[in-house]
Amino acid sequence: MGLKFRPVDASFYELFSESAGHMVTGAGLLAEMLAEGADRDAVASRMRDAEHAADETTHRIIKQVNSTFVTPFDREDIYALASGLDDIMDMMDEAVDMILLYEPSVLPKELSDQVEVIQRCAEVTVASMPRLKSMADLSEFWIEINRLENQGDKIFRRLLASLFSGAYQPMDVLKLKDIVTSLEGAIDAFERVANTVEQIAVKES
Amino acid sequence: MGLKFRPVDASFYELFSESAGHMVTGAGLLAEMLAEGADRDAVASRMRDAEHAADETTHRIIKQVNSTFVTPFDREDIYALASGLDDIMDMMDEAVDMILLYEPSVLPKELSDQVEVIQRCAEVTVASMPRLKSMADLSEFWIEINRLENQGDKIFRRLLASLFSGAYQPMDVLKLKDIVTSLEGAIDAFERVANTVEQIAVKES
Amino acid sequence: MGLKFRPVDASFYELFSESAGHMVTGAGLLAEMLAEGADRDAVASRMRDAEHAADETTHRIIKQVNSTFVTPFDREDIYALASGLDDIMDMMDEAVDMILLYEPSVLPKELSDQVEVIQRCAEVTVASMPRLKSMADLSEFWIEINRLENQGDKIFRRLLASLFSGAYQPMDVLKLKDIVTSLEGAIDAFERVANTVEQIAVKES
């Protein structure tokens, strides 16, 4: 008679990688949403699926932290990291939703610049999650996110100035301001995740 | 010589019922504010009174929780529930205030649909408060609020799409977007209260 | 051989006075930004410097609270006060930034009324910080801030009504609404600081 092994719980590290993986998917869908000739209804529907999948991963992390006696780092930090990642997804979902609902007649090129920053943020975030295990080389992560956030901030401010320059109709300004603010919000949400990771690393070091 | 009885402190349950009762008043005033030919100054003034009354009830709950050694459930949950109810009132007050200040020239019919959802939310909330005592049948409450929140979300998205469809002047869009967002905010605030009640019920079960 | 004295750590009271001092600087820069013929680029750049200086003071407070065994009042209250002061600065910085980026073609006179309220709030706040040591005469502080907040609220509501009265172009409404909302946000942030001070005083009394 063989031994029965209980399947090992998916580790927190794997769940955080899974969560960050949804951000990569979401950022890709944002880029598709802005592409010329995109089927916006279809992309928005896939975004909703991605957002639900991200929600589920978040719930699994919360459930696991509640049912585990020893956690790899402080319980509140796990909550903060999980809900921080979830916030990013909510902002990306909101941006896609607004593009669908508002049907802006123009999409300034700089929107794609914002989305490129978001895609790069998602890539460095997913790459950093496995490193939470060894706590090695995490500073590269938050330094790069801070750099990207600065870059995003410059694009955002340039976009606002351009929206209010008189080159756009009031209705387009109304629509685009909400959209670029959501995208900037997603980048800020990545920065909050990077700050959380930095705090965890400082505590554990 | 007779005995002197100190009046028994109004229980937390009664205070929560009182607090939720203000929401019913507020929701009714919202409906009046949208009615044709309404005396908006008079309704807004009654809304301010209702908001002050709600504030007072919240302060009494906080005061009682601070002066009571044994509370029926966790202190933080009592704070969360009291301030959650207060947030609803603030959102309703904000919506009434905007209608008064902005004087929108048109009020799309769907605004009344939003307010009907809010009135229904207030009714099920006030009905659920006494059930906090027995913790019985509370799941019906949060399931119904979640259903109403989904319905409200659909109305909100339809309203936004319609506002940005080109059928409205930019000034009207500016005004109405703030108002419908406040109303949606009130519904979201009910959902947060329902989530708090769910958490309390899960802990106590 | 003489004794070596370690320099005494700047006390929390001095750091809070320093922090509130940045608010006075910021409020002055807001007033300069609205002045006719202002070099807005130069003023905005000085505002960024002031905001960085305020950030540094906040970090020093947080660092000191983390490295000090006995604090003059509850750790959470010190955090709340420090971050509350920091929030005020962020709102003032945001307002200056918007005036720079949006380049509004008109600046209604009431904006200066809002800024005067902010300047007065900053003055009474900086004057109250040393009184945290003795906890004497602090009620004057929060009573005056509440009075100023009420005054600010009246100006804000009058401004909103005027913006939506039809006297302004939609583009100007869009720009000015953001700016007046930031200024109102700064006043609200002063009120939150006053509430924190009141809570500290109540606890310590």
Q: What is the mean pLDDT of each run of 10 residues along chain B (205 residues)?
A: 46 93 98 95 97 95 85 88 96 96 93 98 96 90 96 96 95 96 97 94 82
Contact B194, B126 (CB under 8 A): no
Nearest to C55 by CA among C18, C98, C101: C18
Residue A6, pLDDT > 90, answer no
Pairwise CB contact (< 8 Å): C171 & A173:
yes
Mutant choice from A83, A171, A179 vs B, greatest count of B C-beta within 10 A: A171
Nearest to B27 by CA among B52, B46, B14: B46
Q: Work out the percent of chain C whose per-residue pLDDT is above 90.
A: 80
Q: Is the ipTM of this complex over 0.85?
A: no
Nearest to C144 by CA among C68, C200, C78, C197: C197
Sign of CA dihedral C141, C144, C147, C149: negative
Long-range contacts of C32-39 (CB under 8 A, 24+ apart): C33/C95, C33/C96, C33/C99, C33/C100, C34/C99, C34/C107, C34/C111, C34/C112, C34/C115
For the segment C99-144, what is each residue's pLDDT rounded down to a tens digit?
A: 999 999 899 999 999 999 999 999 999 999 999 988 888 999 999 9
Pairwise CB contact (< 8 Å): A170 & B170:
yes
What ranges do the domains of chain C cover? 12-204
Instruction: Map chain B to HEC letters.
Output: CCCCCCCCCCCHHHHHHHHHHHHHHHHHHHHHHHCCCCCHHHHHHHHHHHHHHHHHHHHHHHHHHHHCCCCCCCHHHHHHHHHHHHHHHHHHHHHHHHHHHHCCCCCCCHHHHHHHHHHHHHHHHHHHHHHHCCCCCHHHHHHHHHHHHHHHHHHHHHHHHHHCCCCCCHHHHHHHHHHHHHHHHHHHHHHHHHHHHHHHHHHHC
Centroid of chain to Cα C201: 20
**How confident is the model at residue A108, as a pLDDT?**
94
Contact C103, C97 (CB under 8 A): no
Nearest CA-CA distance, residue A112 and chain C, Å: 21
> Could you tell me how many CB contacts below 8 A there are between chain B and chain C?
23
Q: Please, which residues have CB within 8 angstroms of residue C3's CB and are 6 or more apart in sequence?
A: none
Question: Would you call B60 exposed, middle or buried from its count of C-beta atoms within 10 A (0-12, 13-18, 19+)?
Answer: middle
Nearest to A160 by CA among A97, A192, A114, A101: A114
Nearest CA-CA distance, residue C151 and chain B, Å: 17
Mean predicted confidence (pLDDT) in C82-107: 95
For the segment A53-92, what is each residue's pLDDT rounded down to a tens digit?
A: 999 999 999 888 888 878 888 888 999 999 999 999 999 9
* Crossing angle of the two packed helices A75-102 and B138-163, in degrees rounded to 10: 40
Q: Is the CB of C170 inside 8 Å of chain A's CB atoms?
A: yes
Nearest CA-CA distance, residue B139 and chain C, Å: 35
Q: Is the CB of C153 inside 8 Å of chain B's CB atoms?
A: no
From B97, B101, B171, residue closest to C173, measured CB to CB: B171
Chains that touch C (3 or more CB pairs under 8 A): A, B
Contact A44, A100 (CB under 8 A): yes
In C31-70, the residues whose Cβ lies within 8 Å of chain B are none
CA within 13 Å, CB half, B6: 3
> Could you tell me how many CB contacts below 8 A there are between chain A and chain C?
23
Q: Is the CB of C162 inside 8 Å of chain B's CB atoms?
A: no
Confidence band, pLDDT 50/70/90 cuts, at residue C92: very high
Confidence band, pLDDT 50/70/90 cuts, at residue C9: low
Question: Would you call C205 exposed, middle or buried from its count of C-beta atoms within 10 A (0-12, 13-18, 19+)?
Answer: exposed
Mean predicted confidence (pLDDT) in A123-137: 93
Contact C193, C85 (CB under 8 A): yes
**How confident is the model at residue A8, as a pLDDT?**
41
**How confident is the model at residue A134, as a pLDDT?**
87
In A69-108, the residues whose Cβ lies within 8 Å of chain B are 97, 101-103
CATH code of the domain occupying B12-204:
1.20.58.220
Q: Is the CB of B174 inside 8 Å of chain C's CB atoms?
A: yes
CA-nearest residue to C172 within chain B is: B171
Centroid of chain to Cα B120: 10
For the segment C13-66, what is each residue's pLDDT rounded down to a tens digit?
A: 999 999 999 999 999 999 999 999 999 999 999 999 999 999 999 999 988 888
Q: Work out the percent of chain A whose per-residue pLDDT is above 70.
A: 95
Q: Is the CB of B202 inside 8 Å of chain A's CB atoms?
A: no
Nearest CA-CA distance, residue A81 and chain C, Å: 21
Pairwise CB contact (< 8 Å): A164 & C170:
no
Cα separation, B86 vs B97, in Å, equals 16
